[in-house]
Amino acid sequence: MGEIDDGTEPATLGLNTLQKAFKGTTSSWTKKGDGAVIIKFSSTDTKDVTVNIMSGGNRIDEVDALGGKTLYLDRWRPGFLGLPGTGGGSLVLWVPRSSQGGHLELKVKLNVS
């Protein structure tokens, strides 16, 4: 199987959003690059929210390399006693491996939900 071609089409990396929280998120992938995955957040939400970033089932700060794994963002708003409440949503996409380093940029939009 070959490498993923450069592009911005959401289906290329299987970018999928559940509910309204991340609707409008875009991505850009290039095979040649520095191996970086850059996530830029912008919010139109009127309340504070928490975004959990996971990759390969691990918290992002425990992952050495994202290539060849699923990247998962989960958003929630604290409810009673700080437990997850309303306004949740998820974003999932595949981060390809590239022999040329690769470079992925996500412009993650946080919406009112």
Residue 71 lies inside a defined structural domain of this protein: yes
Residue 4 lies inside a defined structural domain of this protein: no
Residue 3 lies inside a defined structural domain of this protein: no
The Cα 51–Cα 73 span in angstroms is 7
Q: Write out the residue range of the structural domain in which residue 76 sits.
A: 10-110
Q: Residue range 88-103: average pLDDT?
A: 87
Distances from the Cα of 12 to the Cα of 26, 58, 85, 88, 93, angstroms: 12, 23, 32, 25, 9
Q: Residue range 67-96: average pLDDT?
A: 79
Residue 101 lies inside a defined structural domain of this protein: yes
pLDDT (tens digit per residue) in 19-76: 888 899 999 999 999 888 899 888 887 776 778 888 877 777 655 667 888 888 888 7
The Cα 56–Cα 109 span in angstroms is 22
Number of domains in the chain: 1
